[in-house]
């Protein structure tokens, strides 16, 4: 098979390891991976300390002060997510192995190609939007430096001070901007890993639905081309395979929610809260030039893309899981009337598994707010409502 869930997870974990967030697959030299991870976290923590000092104690103009506070909140939240991933590192490795193996014999090329494309283009869209936002910040700061003579500021740090105009201070500001561009890689990796698992779990349910469709078609074809009892036994075995996979899927979903639940909850809060702050900044500013507006809008767009990737894919799991009960019931068990002993066993299996599949599978943020399509619409409406009120 050209593509598989295991190959996808391994590729994603390799990319995440290259960002310095750690090895979540464990098929290489962990010593060098840990050294790289320690260096990355050290640089990231130093940057966050400087940002927090600027937010609390720095003497900056209003615009830079607001940026310092906003980025301190964002990066503190991201750091919490990164440490949560490290805390669950062993659990994530086990989870990756289970997800790679579960239903591997049922995967087909068409479904796997769709899964790979959704992961690839979804994450690529998020990464591009983030770096467009960072580029817009750099261009706007450069414009202010050239036209207004203000210091080049993107990420606001306590040192150097705002009034410092030495070459060393200018070099440090540029260095911090370049460091910020690099530090976005592990930050985005922390955001993307839970999203990849959500997408894969949705496709696991699609694969399982396709399995029940396939055994139903095979039974309809085989009962005329081979001994009917053999076809019935094959149907029974296929049903047992699918039901066993469904039970394991439920278990893995619980593990995904246990490991990534807090991270996804923080992502929802971070995206919605910061989007509101940015739109308020846009609303209360009397005048905004083109580069400043582009900077704000690209940042808001990246946050909403992150929010959508979390909520839409969590909602997709709920939707695909809701389709499973019909596919189980339609597997062809009712056509086994010529063999009552087998039909009774299959009927019992189908009855239990259909009842289990009819239970709503809903992921929640902080065990309260549903992660779904409806939640995304609600958050988007709330954000716009707050923006509209302040704008008026």
Confidence of residue 286 (pLDDT cuts 50, 70, 90): low
Distance CA 44, CA 286 (A): 35
Of residues 27 and 187, more confidence is placed in 187
pLDDT at 260: 93
Confidence of residue 223 (pLDDT cuts 50, 70, 90): low
Among 261, 283, 279, 288, residue whose Cα is nearest residue 379? 279
- DSSP structure string for 227-246: -HHHHHHHHHHHHHHHHHHH
Determine the average pLDDT of the residues in 277-302. Answer: 74
How many Å from the N-terminal Cα to the C-terminal Cα in the chain? 58
Picking from 74-88, 148-162, 190-204, which range would have the lowest pLDDT averaged per residue? 148-162
Domain boundaries, the chain: 5-391
pLDDT at 1: 42
Determine the average pLDDT of the residues in 19-45. Answer: 86
Distance CA 135, CA 147 (A): 18
pLDDT digits (tens, 9 = 90+) for 225-252: 556 777 778 888 888 899 899 999 999 9
């Amino acid at each position: 098979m050209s593509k598989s869930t295991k190959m996808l997870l391994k590729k994603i974990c390799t990319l995440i390891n290259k960002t310095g967030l750690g090895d979540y697959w464990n098929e290489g030299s962990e010593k060098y991976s840990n050294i790289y991870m320690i260096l990355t976290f050290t640089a990231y923590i130093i940057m966050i300390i400087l940002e927090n000092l600027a937010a609390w104690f720095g003497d900056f103009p209003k615009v830079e002060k607001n940026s310092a506070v906003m980025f301190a909140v964002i990066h503190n939240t991201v750091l919490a997510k990164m440490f949560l991933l490290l805390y669950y590192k062993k659990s994530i490795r086990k989870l990756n192995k289970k997800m790679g193996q579960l239903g591997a014999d049922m995967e087909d090329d068409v479904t796997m190609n769709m899964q790979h494309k959704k992961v690839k283009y979804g994450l690529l869209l998020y990464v591009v939007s983030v770096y467009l936002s960072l580029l817009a910040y750099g261009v706007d700061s450069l414009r202010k430096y050239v036209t207004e003579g203000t210091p080049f500021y993107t990420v606001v740090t306590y040192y150097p001070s705002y009034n410092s105009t030495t070459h060393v201070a200018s070099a440090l500001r540029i260095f911090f901007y370049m460091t910020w561009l690099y530090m976005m890689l592990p930050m985005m990796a922390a955001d993307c890993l839970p999203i990849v698992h959500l997408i894969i779990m949705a496709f696991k349910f699609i694969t399982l639905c396709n399995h029940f469709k396939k055994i139903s078609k095979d039974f309809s074809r085989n009962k005329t081309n081979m001994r009917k009892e053999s076809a019935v036994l094959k149907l029974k075995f296929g049903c047992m395979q699918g039901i066993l996979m469904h039970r394991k899927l439920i278990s893995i979903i619980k593990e995904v929610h246990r490991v990534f639940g807090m991270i996804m909850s923080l992502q929802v809060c971070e995206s919605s809260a910061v989007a509101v702050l940015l739109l308020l900044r846009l609303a209360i500013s009397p005048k905004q030039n083109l580069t400043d507006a582009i900077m704000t809008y690209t940042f808001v767009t990246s946050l909403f893309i992150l929010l959508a990737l979390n909520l839409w894919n969590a909602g997709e799991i709920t939707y695909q899981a809701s389709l499973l009960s019909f596919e189980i019931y339609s597997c062809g068990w009712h056509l086994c009337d010529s063999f009552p002993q087998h039909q009774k066993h299959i009927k019992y299996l189908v009855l239990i598994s259909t009842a289990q599949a009819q239970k709503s599978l809903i992921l929640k943020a902080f065990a309260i707010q549903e992660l779904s399509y409806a939640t995304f619409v609600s958050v988007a409406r709330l954000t716009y409502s707050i923006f509209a009120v302040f704008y008026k």
